[in-house]
Amino acid sequence: MVSKGGLHYWMQSEDFDLAHHFVHVALPKPGRIRELLAMVSRVHCGHLDRAYPLWQMYLIEGLADGRFAVYIKVHHALMDGIAGIRLLMRSMSTNLDTSLTLPPPWEVPTQRSKPRHLPLPSPTSGGLSALRSLAREHVGSVVPVVRELRSNVRDIIRRNPDFVFAGQAPRTIFNQKVSATRRFAAQSYSTPRIKAVAEAYGATANDVVLAMCAGALRRYLLDLGELPKRPLVAAVPVSVRREGSDHANEVSFTFCHLATHLYNPEARLRAINSCMDYNKAHLQRLSPDQSLVCSAFKLLPGALNAVTRLVDNSALANVIISHVPGPRRPLYWQGAKLCGLYPASLVVDSGALNITLISRHDFVDVGLIACRKAVPQVQRLLQYLEDALLELEATIHATVIPN
C-alpha cells in the first residue's frame, strides 16, 4: 500500500518474500491454551509493515494435546471478516483427503468480479479526480438517505428508545486512549443452546448473542464499580455484501443499546430484540450503497463530539460486537480437523474492547481483544458470557413465553 496526496492505493508487490509473511514458532512448555492465548496477545500488538503486503501467518506448534494453531493477521483495509472467512474456506475442505491437495491461503486465487464502482484514480492523477468519482458513485443515494435521516429526526423528537445513534453512549472504562499492549481471550459456546433461547423468545440467534454480551458486560462493570446508569451502546457491523461479491470490504454499521441498566435478563433480551428489529426494518429500505452513506451520517454527531467534547460524558459507542457467519460443516486443513475459529479483531482509541463472534456449525466461537491496561482481566468476560446464557435459559424454564 502506498500513499499520495492523502489517498492510499494498492500496488502489486515486485519482490514478494514468503519468509517475511510466514512464521513457524513453538509454544513454551507446558503448551496449554493459556500459553497460546499469551502468544497471540503478544504478536497481535505489533503493526503490519506497509512496505510489504499487509498480512502475516504464524504456524504455532507445541500444544500439549498434540494439536497445532494457525494465527493469521490481515489489515482490515485488505479485507473484512466475511472476505477473510471466504478466503480461509477456499483453502479447506469438508473432506479430509481432499484437504491434502488444497493450496495454502496465500496461494488461493482471488476471483474478483468486474468492478461495479468507478475505479479510484492512479496515484499520479491526484485527489480531485478521486472526489469526483466518489460523488458520481453516490449521487443516486441522496434522496433515500435524506428520507431515512428525516425519519431518524422524528424518532429523536419522539424519543424512540429503539433509535440509537453514535455519541449516545455513556463514557466507560472502554472509552479511553489505548496503549500498545493487547490481551486476547477466546472460547466456544453451543449454537443449539443459543438457538433454543432465540426460538423461545421469537428472537434471532444474533439477538441472544447481544444479550449474552450485555449480561457479561453488565456484570464485569459491576465488579469494578463502573456500571453507568445509562445503557451501554454497541456498534454492530452489518454486512451489505451482495450475493457473489468478492470485494474486500462491504460493511455498514448500526447501533444497539444493550439495556445494561435493566437487572432482568429477559427484559434485556426483549429490549435488544426490539432495537435490532427496528434497525433491520430501516436497513431493508436502503440499498447497500445507501446504507453505507446513511451510516456515515449517523456517525457525525458522535464524531463531532469526539473532536469538540461538547458533551464530555458521551462516547461514539462503548464496544464493537461483530457476528460473522462461518462454515456450516466441519472443515479440514491439510488433513487436520478445524476445532475452533477464533477472531482477533482490533481496538482503537475510545474503543478498548472488541467482541467478535464466528458461527461455526454447532458452535459460536468468541474472540475478545482488549487493551490490557484499559480493560483488566478481560478473560473474566468468557465465564460471564456463559453465566449470561445460563440466566437466559433459566428464564425459559421459569416462565411461560407468550406467543
pLDDT at 100: 87
In the chain the domains, ranked by start, together with CATH numbers, are 2-7+16-78 (no CATH), 142-398 (3.30.559.30)
Mean pLDDT is lowest, of 78-82, 181-185, 245-249, for 245-249
Section 202-208 average pLDDT: 96
Q: Which three cell numbers stand for residue 177?
A: 486512549
pLDDT for residue 125: 45
Residue 387: exposure state from Cβ atoms within 10 A (0-12, 13-18, ≥19)? middle
138 given a catalytic annotation: no
* 199-210 average pLDDT score: 96
Mean pLDDT of the chain: 81
In this predicted structure, what is the pLDDT of residue 4? 63
User: What's the one-letter identity of residue 12?
Assistant: Q
Confidence of residue 52 (pLDDT cuts 50, 70, 90): confident
pLDDT at 37 over 90: yes
Q: Give the tens place of pLDDT for each residue, 133-158.
A: 445 555 555 666 666 666 666 766 67
pLDDT tops 50 at residue 163: yes
For the chain, give the percent of residues with pLDDT over 70.
71
Q: Which of 76, 138, 247, 261 is catalytic?
A: 76
pLDDT digits (tens, 9 = 90+) for 63-78: 998 899 999 998 877 7
Q: What is the pLDDT of residues 334-387, one digit of tens each?
A: 899 999 999 999 999 999 999 999 999 899 999 999 999 999 999 999 999 999
Rounded to the nearest 10 degrees, what angle do helices 380-398 and 191-201 cross at? 40
- The β-bridge partners of 237 are 253
pLDDT in tens, 314-326: 688 999 999 988 8
pLDDT at position 402 over 60: no
Provide CB contacts within 8 A for 211, sequence distance 6+: 265, 268, 269, 272, 388, 392
**Exposure letters 328-340 (e unless 16+ CB within 10 A, then b):** eeebbbeeeebee
pLDDT recorded at residue 392: 97
pLDDT for residue 120: 44
Task: Please give the pLDDT value at position 133.
Answer: 45
Categorize the per-residue pLDDT at 32 as very low, low, confident or very high, splitting at 50, 70 and 90. very high
Q: How confident is the model at residue 294, as a pLDDT?
A: 65
Within 13 Å and on the Cβ side, how many CA atoms surround 297? 17
More confident call, 221 vs 311? 221
Looking at 35-44, 130-139, 229-238, 391-400, which range is the least confident one? 130-139
Among 108-122, 161-175, 195-209, 270-284, where is mean pLDDT lowest? Answer: 108-122
Residue 70: the pLDDT is 93
pLDDT in tens, 4-31: 666 666 677 777 777 788 899 999 999 9
Q: Is the pLDDT of residue 213 over 70?
A: yes
More confident residue, 288 or 104: 104
Nearest in space to 345 (alpha carbons), one of 356, 335, 357: 356
pLDDT tens column, 223-269: 999 999 999 999 998 765 555 545 544 567 789 999 999 999 999 99
pLDDT, average across residues 27-40: 94
Supply 147's cell numbers.
Answer: 428520507
Q: Could you give the CA distance from residue 385 to residue 89 in angstroms, rounded to a whole number?
A: 28
Give the relative orientation of helices 205-223 and 191-201 as an angle to the nearest 10 degrees: 100
pLDDT: is 265 or 282 the higher one? Answer: 265
What pLDDT does 211 receive?
A: 98
SS (H, E, C) the chain: CEEECCEEECCCCCCCCHHHHEEEEECCCCCCHHHHHHHHHHHCCCCCCCCCCCEEEEEEECCCCCCCEEEEEECCCCCCHHHHHHHHHHCCECCHHHHCCCCCHHHCCCCCCCCCCCCCCCHHHCHHHHHHHHHHHHHHHHHHHHHHHHHHHHHHHHCCCCCCCCCCEECCCCCCCCCCCEEEEEEEEEHHHHHHHHHHHCCCHHHHHHHHHHHHHHHHHHHCCCCCCCCCEEEEEEECCCCCCCCCCCEEEEEEECCCCCCCHHHHHHHHHHHHHHHHHHHCCCCHHHHHHHHHHHHHHHHHHHHHCCCCCEECCCEEEEEEECCCCCCEECCEECCCCCCCCCCECCECEEEEEEEECCEEEEEEEEECCCCCCCCHHHHHHHHHHHHHHHHHHHCCCCC
